[in-house]
Structure 1
């Protein structure tokens, strides 16, 4: 198997690939893949904002594995991810990841440790609601389904019942994520042994169907509080892992983090937590915001800070990297101006990762609206990074009146 090492938003790498493989890489949209104009038979590959590892298999061609390394240290990536999932408990059971330089081994170790802590007090039990056709009557007979499906016959009986045991949504998620990690490459041997042990403990939980995108739903409660860190990480594993089939029998299997989403989730949650001490209420991915008076054009600001009776006080959008599509070189500014106009706000805030956009303030002609560009330095230690977010929250609160 051919292995190609790439860096997030790094320089392009040229490799000799069959045209079928090159076209499959281009179609996958995992990386930018274009034919090398100077050397026939070679393809230029450049990574964007997705990091991790994937294997791509094309019929009749040697498989290729892409390993994409993030710009930030692995430990910082997992801090951003963990804080966004659980800002109060992101430090609990922290795993030392400084020795890891790849995403997959670090993710596998983090999940195995979280799963071990979740199962330390035993496998969680609960009630699972089931509706089925049964040869015996248990629970309640669903009369309408019985008549519609069986036309007066007594058996099988359409019944519904609640059964107490370990086959619940929480255990299904944990088992499925562990099995997913075991299928991925470069998972350390000791971590594999731990994951297999946990899978045995969760054997009574029904396995999830591969390729089924609807994950079991669970609700946070006092009873599953010890499970929650592992559950949030399991959902991340299952949503980031992929088994996709492209046209022509091309298969893509692996795990990827979208750094744009990781950064956006961290900024929104960290800002929400920091603004809480200033009063008001923060709404993430706010709905019900429209650009036009007929409420046809919908908008979803990343964060909207509201005061009494839900009156908007400030709006912010997190942008890992400045968008500069052809013809619209300052698309982020246009978007923020639309937010400020629709919400009746004099200021808006764009938050970038340092190095992807400069700090600046723009006063928009004939409107009085000022759009501020802020930059967070992801190379700083976690405590200093959170201090920077707190300083940004103070500035937003200072310029707004509750």
Structure 2
């Protein structure tokens, strides 16, 4: 059976069998349950969104929690923070959305462009070949078997430094598949074609070939976001392009407040780095409230700039994201602690909705300014990137004005 709930919605009443009740009760992190009768239950979603298949057989339930944020905005956030998404390999059914795949294409292009910004990743691959000269080492057994007594050509094996590695094959396959998506605008198609052109020399996956395996490491760290999205594009039968009926997609669950925090920290951090340089540190955990180091501070973003007198990187801005409908007094206390400990006169709280403003907090003989910004996720996804740049400009402007 299928159960659909809404993020932040009210209670929904559904008829459930005892087996289905057991299935849903085993996943109390996803929803709340209260019985009305033995077979009739009131259900309410918690803070995750997505769709996942739970249980099996007669106890199976396809649970879908629809986000308040439209799917294209959700995918834009995921492109910056794919590590905050939990994928479930059990397929679920979903209705085709005309904006789903174009939005996914936009998210993938954004991540792939960042991955390839400093060039295409290369790796070493062992290659066997027949050559007129020695390269690497001779495969003596093959040489004797194939050409006994003949000195050339030689059967050799060598390490080839090549772009034809799993990471690039994954990016190329995803870009080629997205080029078949109907409804892409000219800019998206051009961007995808640009990505395929940059991956010249990379093998094209044959039809039905398994998705290339890769493991995150230091070498491919800059590819990580793009690779996760590429896997989403290619995942089994995740997307049946051109089919007007339901499509099979892998289960996916997202905790929205965690996703919002990670997206905002990484997106604003990148924007500040491009604007003024320095080093952004999302989820910085290097400061403590107390002298004994027992109470760690957890701002979502600290941006470091080189001090003019000695060139040492020091905190220049602090930001914390709040996926809430209205500010709370505790948010001000928290940001005050961040500013005092980091030695900053400005702090920035960013909400997903509400009204912007500023609160002045007296500290000793001075004042802290705590800014309340709003990043409206209801705006079209094409505008969110521009809003991030505006937010970074505002944060830098507040710091520069105060310093003057």
Same fold (TM over 0.5): yes
Note the 1:290-305 alignment, pairs <5 A: 290-305=288-303
Match of 1:53 in 2: 51
Contact 1:173 1:216 in 2 (8 A): no
Match of 2:62 in 1: 65
Displacement of 1:174 in angstroms is 6.9
Match of 2:280 in 1: 282
Q: Classify the secondary structure of the residue corresponding to 1:52.
A: strand
Displacement of 1:60 in angstroms is 4.7
Note the 1:339-358 alignment, pairs <5 A: 339-355=338-354, 358=355
Note the 1:123-162 alignment, pairs <5 A: 126-127=123-124
Q: Classify the secondary structure of the residue corresponding to 1:298.
A: coil
Q: Deviations over 1:270-320 (max 9, x none)?
A: 322332324544322223211111223222321112232122222111122
Deviates more, 1:332-341 or 1:284-293: 332-341
Contact 1:336 1:348 in 2 (8 A): yes
Cα distance change, pair 34–278 in 1 and its aligned pair in 2 (3 A): same
* Distance across 2 between alignment mates of 1:202 and 1:162: 28
* Distance across 2 between alignment mates of 1:237 and 1:78: 12
Match of 1:233 in 2: 229
Cα distance change, pair 295–177 in 1 and its aligned pair in 2 (3 A): farther
Contact 1:322 1:332 in 2 (8 A): no
Displacement of 1:254 in angstroms is 1.6
* Distance across 1 between alignment mates of 2:208 and 2:165: 10
The yes-or-no answer on 1:12 pairing with 2:11 is: yes
Match of 1:33 in 2: 32
Cα distance change, pair 200–258 in 1 and its aligned pair in 2 (3 A): farther
Match of 1:314 in 2: 317
Contact 2:5 2:12 in 1 (8 A): yes
* Distance across 2 between alignment mates of 1:270 and 1:114: 11
Match of 2:387 in 1: 385
Note the 1:147-296 alignment, pairs <5 A: 170=167, 200=206, 203=209, 215-217=215-217, 219-220=219-220, 230-234=226-230, 254-276=251-273, 277-296=275-294
Q: Classify the secondary structure of the residue corresponding to 1:79.
A: helix
Displacement of 1:72 in angstroms is 2.3
Q: Which runs of 5+ in 2 are unaligned?
A: 83-95, 116-120, 127-135, 138-157, 176-180, 182-203, 236-249
Cα distance change, pair 69–110 in 1 and its aligned pair in 2 (3 A): farther
Q: Which runs of 5+ in 1 are unaligned?
A: 86-98, 119-123, 130-137, 140-160, 179-187, 189-197, 209-214, 240-252
* Distance across 2 between alignment mates of 1:106 and 1:3: 27
Displacement of 1:170 in angstroms is 2.1
* Distance across 2 between alignment mates of 1:18 and 1:45: 14
Q: Classify the secondary structure of the residue corresponding to 2:403.
A: coil
Q: Deviations over 1:209-242 (max 9, x none)?
A: xxxxxx4436349xxx9x7774141467899xxx
Cα distance change, pair 22–278 in 1 and its aligned pair in 2 (3 A): same
Displacement of 1:352 in angstroms is 1.0
Q: Classify the secondary structure of the residue corresponding to 1:72.
A: coil
* Distance across 2 between alignment mates of 1:39 and 1:78: 39
Match of 1:242 in 2: none
* Distance across 2 between alignment mates of 1:397 and 1:335: 19
Cα distance change, pair 379–322 in 1 and its aligned pair in 2 (3 A): closer
Displacement of 1:51 in angstroms is 2.4
Contact 1:167 1:206 in 2 (8 A): no
Contact 2:79 2:226 in 1 (8 A): no
Cα distance change, pair 22–333 in 1 and its aligned pair in 2 (3 A): farther
Q: Deviations over 1:22-62 (max 9, x none)?
A: 354244245322114x444322222344222111115652x
Contact 2:122 2:164 in 1 (8 A): yes
Work out the number of aligned pairs and report it: 308
* Distance across 2 between alignment mates of 1:42 and 1:267: 41
